[in-house]
Structure 1
Amino acid sequence: MKNSDRFIQNPAPGTRILMFRGDTCTFILSLPHPQKGSAWLRTNIGHAKTARREIITEVENNRPPLGRDWFDLSMKRIDNQSFKITVPLCEVGHFEGKCFFLPKGETRPIWPEGPNVVINVEPADTCCSNIIYNAFVRQFGPNKSGDFFQDADENLIQSLDKSGYTVIPPSGTFRDLIKELDFIIGELGCRVIQLLPIHPTPTTYARMGRFGSPYAALSFTAVDSALAEFDSRATPLEQFIELVDAIHERHASIFIDIAINHTGWAAGLHETHPQWLVRDSDGKIEVPGAWGVVWADLTRLDYTKQDLWEYMADVFITWCRRGVDGFRCDAGYMIPVSAWRYMVARVREQYPDTIFILEGLGGKISVSRDILNRANFNWAYSELFQNYNRNQIEDYLPGANEISASDGIAVHFAETHDNLRLAERSKEFARMRTALCALCSSQGGFGFANGVEWYATEKINVHGASSLNWGSKTNQVKYIRRLNTLLKIHPAFHDHTELKMLQKGEGNHLALLRHHLPSGKKLLILTNLDDKKETLGAWDSQQTGMSELSLTDLISGKRVTITEFHEEFSYLLDPGEVLCLTDDPLDMDPILEAESRVLLYPERIKEQRIRAKTLDIYRCYKGVQDLDTLDPDEMARKFTKNPVEFCRSLNPFSDESRIITWHWPRDIRREVMIPPDHFLMVRADISFRARIMDKDRCLAQEESLPCSDGSFFALFTPMHPTGTLASCTLKISVYTPGETQHVEGPLFFLPRAKDATVKQIFDRADLSDRSLHMLGTNGRGGMLRAFVSWGELSSRYDAFLAANIDDKIPEDRWI
């Protein structure tokens, strides 16, 4: 291999880039002087399925990976020294690429110096407003507003404890949380509900605390019955599915916290797979811990055992099948990258848009980067929540921003169950830290624990059920709604935004410039990190490009007058004050309009999802190749206007759209046949989610998109045909008002004509099969259908001659 530092590649070798499904990536190779020859991009972009299959077979079949996902794409010469290629990003995954030049008449390529470019592609609907509400279901019970636990009761409980009794107070339930979703998703504006673990917890043996810790799971696939109401019509798991449906109905996502590094004592795995427990030389089961704390109610699992990897992959897939959209992986840094790589690949084979969040607090940054890249995690916990003053944040935030731009989004949680409540210090402090984490986020990666909105002061105790201060008259509900609306609406909080810290002078303050590159829109975030004292916030005006001395604060809506001294601007900030400043007063209008709507779905996400779908369709016909002059945004506009005509326009073989349409509810009982190379379009008057299932295996999953006429549709790209008829099931969840309808319909994916076979010779044993029929058709709605056992009638469709006289749809035949 020949390298040359005189060959210049853009993006530069070694660059890591975070992008989203529906984006495109352009590579340019520049030669040091005019030269004849060809340029190529060597990459695995577009071959995620092949890459995943190699990862899986290496573990399950001990087959070394052969790199079958790599291939070369021809680059277009744009002048006598430059080549260019633009490739569509249609799959979620970790990809790499590098350009090379092949001089005319030679077989040895010339490569630019440096390693491959890395492109981490995320789901289309995570390009902005990734706003997480962290809910502990247990806390939505009788102590939600406080004052449930009385001193007199506590004295009685302690006396029972001393007598050996087990006393566990009532818990919040899934249905309790469902009642608050309109507030959490609709009023606060959160888009992700992330649950602390919902698995069964110890109640007697090795129980810690009053309730037991949800992180001490007794089963990774079961639901804690304490989180369900006793209802003879619905099991605890079915009540969890009710919660899943209610969240999806509101166009939000549900994540669950899962701690696969360990189990609780007497977990089911102790009985079924005792060999998976880590023991010392004396046979003592190892107890995990972190930060010098031993978690005595937990037992460590041994990830040197690869059959444990396979078991845990099945656990994740089980929850995906139940409708879970993502996982917070507690203490994920304690599990080998190779194990995560396998488990994530297994999940993405069936559910590629699943979000994996790394809780890497306490682990090395290098390990977190490795898990985000090689293991293909999506997000990681930011540590901004434990950096408080200017010096700490100046040291930490640039690195977090760089990770968000290259490896995976670093989500800024204002508060988690691991740290003290912000409002315990002061309401001003809670308000400032909440705004800081939201307004410094990348792609709106912002989260907070339940109760932050109510200024809750009792620390979340995973062994108990502390108060959320729910319904307090003093709260920051409207404040958080405004912050979340900004994250959804303003382009400077979306993808393709640069973040730069600009604070100058002294004082415990920050000045952060947000610059949305495609639109040029800018915002300046000013924060007084001191909740007790005023401070003079100062910044370099030239670096902001905002020269006006009167700016608009998008949080309060007020006009702010800036002081100028030479080229330095300043503003005196009140204790704990946070401003989101724009030099365009019209920025306020869309924010106010958005706040007048309920359950706002970000327009930016809809745009990205449509772009991703149009590129999917393009790839079906063209494969992975240079888009050249094609404009994905123009393609998306045509697709939105008429999806059927768009598909027809890309079909290079005929004038057909090659779309088979399935209508809800009229096609529930119809057996739908789908020829090779045909799309399946599902349509309904209301929003839905749909899956194509082969028994328990998910072949494809789609969330509906809105049509211009107010209805909804989902478009499945063609399945790879097999040599025989493939019988599958369409599972659809339709979000009808008041109750989600789960329906199923049969699908038959037909083989190619050359692969179809017809049995022509039957022996005597075959003739005894009473299901054998003769079928003859004339292609015009007429048919003959009769038993091989001539003269027998088993159905009203048996006839010597039957005809369908409806010229539009299949219907009962006239005999």
Structure 2
Amino acid sequence: MKRIIFIFLAMTLQVACKQEKKVEKETMEHNTTAVKEQKKVVYQVFTRLFGNTNTTNKPWGTIEENGVGKFEDFTEKALKEIKDLGVTHIWYTGVPHHDVITDYTAYGISNDDPDVVKGRAGSPYAVKDYYNVNPDLAVDPSKRLEEFQALIKRTHDAGLKVIIDIVPNHVARNYSGLTNPKGVSDFGAEDDTTVEYKRENNFYYMPGEDFQVPIWQDGYLPLGGEKNPLADGKFEESPAKWTGNGSRRAQPGFHDWYETVKVNYGVRPDGTKDFDQLPEGYDSKDVSAHFEFWKDKDVPNSWKKFKEIALYWTAMGVDGFRFDMAEMVPVEFWSYLNTAIKNANEDAFLLAEVYNPSLYRDYIKKGKMDYLYDKVELYDTLKHIMQGHGKTDHLPKIQDGLADIEHHMLHFLENHDEQRIASPDFAGNAVKGKPAMVLSATISTSPTMIYFGQEVGEPGAEDAGFGKPTRTSIFDYIGVPHHQRWVNDKKFDGGQLSTEEVDLRNFYRRLLNFTLGSDALMGNYQEIHFINREETEGYDHRLFSFVRWSANEKLIIVNNFDEQKKYTLNLKLPSDLIAKWNLEDGTYKVEDQLGESAFTSNLKVENGKGSLALEIHPLESFIFKIK
């Protein structure tokens, strides 16, 4: 009898689940993740630039001439202000010890060769020692690791999580670990350099060929032409190694990643894989299943080295990682690494740089990445719209195409690789970024990221030395003027900001804090753009509108990307949406959640359709909440 009852209950439950799924499919547009958590907001900061108050800004200037920020500049006050901006995670960019052209030999650190270093302060993606941190960032370089550990604690005490970079695809040409844990050897220390490839080698080699430094182009010279005993057009590497971007020439080109060497993950030179593959169906299995799969597998040495590195920093209190150029490393490795990290910290935040949309699902489902950059689709489209030659009509297709993975696609308008919004080569005015920022932060359940200085309109106009303006330099010692006005001699109170800069930062603060507290932004999405394109007089491709909702909150979001035109219109809400919201005919008060003042209007529902009368000014956005 019990068995019969059990079977009956199971069948009933199965039918109920099927009916529930059918209803859900019919009534919800995009709620593929059913996420029940707070929005995440990442504040990316270039660590050595954050607290630098020096305004000299001499091209190719030394650390003494142009100054440098320190770990200690992230004071309790600074961290409180960042958190109050509406931030949950700080990505401290450039923390691992990378090549720098500053003499730290007094601390046992070897000098780095300007012939294979970009800029004077060096690329943060040419890591020289994964078990220590950039000596530039410490007041006392001999205690640089302790100073970073203190920063981790301060950050946690401020209620924020810590993210740092790991760059698995390549390391600096002169990698040299000074403080390796017991039993850990350097990359390449045990390689057989007589062959191009060997599974357990960390690098690829060109036996019989010596490395030659690239021929510098575009008017650049090491250190801007300054004399330096190491800037002699030579760098000893025999045999030559493959370069970080995969170049197999003993003399890489100037535009190759010549400062780095490619790491070998057990991928043969012909592209075939020399390691176990994930069985079919593992894209639908969870983290624990992937972790169990790799437990008894023999994996290449480079896999083990990077797992040791990630777990070292995780044990120190780092809460997550941003993985540089993840798509250049096989997805099986990511399954191995990320599940090991999650086994140590199930809440770890794992963000990857992947630019090929055809790989997105593999790196999320097989590689177990939490988040990927949404650059190639959303960011690139928004950039074109902000520049005036793109149409908002392209946006719904992007969201529809990513509906099954939208939660994993981190949104941004700036980062260290991209042009500043205020740069003349991008939008020329930070205010043009406001509607794009509202859309970016509210259209999805995914995290939002901003880059330090974005919130005060930093234009990235400085000629720092290596590289051209429009991006804040990541290669040289430099000051960041608009951001420095917010730093205000390390008071971190915005005391030197202009009225326009204060207004912009307040806009970011209101928007980001709203996203943190909104239940609807972790719920459902539906675009109402095309029905308004078809039925609403005056509505065109410079506007974009959509709705977000949950059981507790209903939002109508409207953005005007036009910098000159004011729109007066009656926004339409279709009957299927009104039905999903269970709104009867009548009038409903709506209140804007974004502006400085609580602007209200009325949503009228007649014959099962909604209309909202509004006037929206150039570059204005509304987040209307139904009261």
Query: Are 1:578 and 2:621 counterparts?
Result: yes
Specify the code of the residue in structure 1 equivalent to 2:520. A
**CA positional deviation for 1:396:** 4.8
- Aligned equivalent of 2:508, options 480, 494, 515: 480
Aligned pair count reads 458
Partner of 1:286: 242
- Aligned equivalent of 2:545, options 511, 521, 532: 511
Residues 226-271 of structure 1: per-residue CA shift (max 9 Å, x gap): 1111187xx2111111111111112211111221111112012455
RMSD: 3.5
Note if contact 2:243-2:261 (Cα within 8 Å) is conserved in structure 1. Answer: yes
Within 5 Å, which residues of 2 pair with 1:66-145? 76-78=10-12, 82=15, 127-143=37-53
**CA positional deviation for 1:351:** 1.9
**CA positional deviation for 1:539:** 4.1
Residues 592-614 of structure 1: per-residue CA shift (max 9 Å, x gap): xxxxxxxxxxxxxxxxxxxxxxx
Mapped to 2, the partners of 1:343 and 1:429 lie a distance apart of 40
Partner of 2:480: 467
Note if contact 2:525-2:546 (Cα within 8 Å) is conserved in structure 1. Answer: no
Residues 297 and 539 (structure 1), Cα distance of their counterparts in 2 relative to 1, 3 Å cut: farther
Residues 396 and 386 (structure 1), Cα distance of their counterparts in 2 relative to 1, 3 Å cut: same
Higher relative contact order (CA 8 A, sep 6+): 2
Specify the code of the residue in structure 2 equivalent to 1:252. L
Specify the code of the residue in structure 2 equivalent to 1:448. I
Mapped to 2, the partners of 1:482 and 1:217 lie a distance apart of 37
Between Structure 1 and Structure 2, the one with more helix by share is 2
Partner of 1:217: 127
Partner of 1:178: 75
Partner of 2:555: 523
Residues 570 and 120 (structure 1), Cα distance of their counterparts in 2 relative to 1, 3 Å cut: closer
Note if contact 2:589-2:602 (Cα within 8 Å) is conserved in structure 1. Answer: yes
Runs of 4+ in 1 over 6 A off after TM superposition: 36-40, 119-122, 562-567
Mapped to 2, the partners of 1:433 and 1:308 lie a distance apart of 41
- Aligned equivalent of 1:318, options 312, 321, 338: 312
Moved more, 263-272 or 401-410: 401-410
Specify the code of the residue in structure 2 equivalent to 1:299. V
Query: Are 1:304 and 2:259 counterparts?
Result: no
Mapped to 2, the partners of 1:263 and 1:212 lie a distance apart of 13
**CA positional deviation for 1:82:** 3.1
Query: Are 1:416 and 2:415 counterparts?
Result: yes
Partner of 2:599: 559
3-state SS in 2 of match to 1:82: helix
Specify the code of the residue in structure 1 equivalent to 2:139. E
Partner of 1:740: none
Residues 121 and 500 (structure 1), Cα distance of their counterparts in 2 relative to 1, 3 Å cut: closer
Partner of 2:456: 454
Specify the code of the residue in structure 1 equivalent to 2:150. E
Residues 349 and 541 (structure 1), Cα distance of their counterparts in 2 relative to 1, 3 Å cut: closer
Residues 506-527 of structure 1: per-residue CA shift (max 9 Å, x gap): 23110011011x32x2111111
Within 5 Å, which residues of 2 pair with 1:780-791? none
**CA positional deviation for 1:174:** 1.0
Residues 249 and 128 (structure 1), Cα distance of their counterparts in 2 relative to 1, 3 Å cut: same
Residues 342 and 567 (structure 1), Cα distance of their counterparts in 2 relative to 1, 3 Å cut: closer
**CA positional deviation for 1:339:** 0.8
Residues 532 and 407 (structure 1), Cα distance of their counterparts in 2 relative to 1, 3 Å cut: closer
Residues 78 and 135 (structure 1), Cα distance of their counterparts in 2 relative to 1, 3 Å cut: same
Within 5 Å, which residues of 2 pair with 1:286-685? 286-289=242-245, 294-304=256-266, 306-361=300-355, 364-383=356-375, 384-388=378-382, 394-396=393-395, 398-400=397-399, 403=402, 405-406=404-405, 408-424=407-423, 425-443=428-446, 445-458=447-460, 459-464=471-476, 465-467=478-480, 469-470=482-483, 471=486, 472-473=497-498, 474-475=501-502, 476-494=504-522, 496-503=523-530, 504-505=532-533, 506-516=540-550, 518-519=551-552, 521-535=553-567, 539-543=571-575, 544-545=577-578, 548=587, 551-556=590-595, 557-561=597-601, 569=612, 571-584=614-627
**CA positional deviation for 1:542:** 2.7
**TM-score, scaled relative to structure 2:** 0.66
Residues 193 and 499 (structure 1), Cα distance of their counterparts in 2 relative to 1, 3 Å cut: farther
Note if contact 1:414-1:446 (Cα within 8 Å) is conserved in structure 2. Answer: no
Structure 2 unaligned residues grouped into runs of 5+: 19-31, 102-111, 177-185, 192-200, 210-238, 247-252, 268-299, 461-470, 487-496, 534-539
Note if contact 1:507-1:535 (Cα within 8 Å) is conserved in structure 2. Answer: no
Note if contact 1:175-1:239 (Cα within 8 Å) is conserved in structure 2. Answer: yes
Note if contact 1:75-1:83 (Cα within 8 Å) is conserved in structure 2. Answer: no
Greater radius of gyration (CA): 1
Mapped to 1, the partners of 2:396 and 2:472 lie a distance apart of 26
Specify the code of the residue in structure 2 equivalent to 1:423. A
Specify the code of the residue in structure 2 equivalent to 1:376. K
3-state SS in 1 of match to 2:482: coil
Mapped to 2, the partners of 1:401 and 1:317 lie a distance apart of 37
Mapped to 2, the partners of 1:538 and 1:411 lie a distance apart of 32
Within 5 Å, which residues of 2 pair with 1:739-758? none
**CA positional deviation for 1:498:** 3.0
Moved more, 352-361 or 312-321: 352-361
Note if contact 2:560-2:619 (Cα within 8 Å) is conserved in structure 1. Answer: yes
Partner of 2:198: none
**CA positional deviation for 1:210:** 2.4
Mapped to 1, the partners of 2:507 and 2:346 lie a distance apart of 35
Specify the code of the residue in structure 1 equivalent to 2:324. D
3-state SS in 2 of match to 1:257: strand
Residues 685-706 of structure 1: per-residue CA shift (max 9 Å, x gap): xxxxxxxxxxxxxxxxxxxxxx
Partner of 1:229: 139
Mapped to 1, the partners of 2:610 and 2:338 lie a distance apart of 51
Within 5 Å, which residues of 2 pair with 1:2-17? none
**TM-score, scaled relative to structure 1:** 0.51
Note if contact 1:486-1:493 (Cα within 8 Å) is conserved in structure 2. Answer: no
Residues 219 and 576 (structure 1), Cα distance of their counterparts in 2 relative to 1, 3 Å cut: same
Residues 336 and 248 (structure 1), Cα distance of their counterparts in 2 relative to 1, 3 Å cut: same
Mapped to 2, the partners of 1:176 and 1:196 lie a distance apart of 15
Mapped to 2, the partners of 1:577 and 1:410 lie a distance apart of 25
Q: In percent, how many aligned pairs have the same letter?
A: 18
Specify the code of the residue in structure 2 equivalent to 1:77. M
Mapped to 1, the partners of 2:510 and 2:169 lie a distance apart of 38
Specify the code of the residue in structure 1 equivalent to 2:170. H
3-state SS in 2 of match to 1:77: helix
Note if contact 2:528-2:574 (Cα within 8 Å) is conserved in structure 1. Answer: no
Note if contact 2:360-2:372 (Cα within 8 Å) is conserved in structure 1. Answer: yes
Structure 1 unaligned residues grouped into runs of 5+: 1-35, 41-73, 86-118, 161-165, 585-815
Residues 83 and 553 (structure 1), Cα distance of their counterparts in 2 relative to 1, 3 Å cut: closer
Residues 181 and 501 (structure 1), Cα distance of their counterparts in 2 relative to 1, 3 Å cut: farther
Mapped to 1, the partners of 2:374 and 2:362 lie a distance apart of 15
**CA positional deviation for 1:344:** 1.4
Residues 109-164 of structure 1: per-residue CA shift (max 9 Å, x gap): xxxxxxxxxx9899x8xx22201100111112434xx72325xxx5xx68x9xxxx
Within 5 Å, which residues of 2 pair with 1:163-174? 169-174=66-71
3-state SS in 1 of match to 2:475: coil
3-state SS in 2 of match to 1:299: strand
Note if contact 1:404-1:410 (Cα within 8 Å) is conserved in structure 2. Answer: no
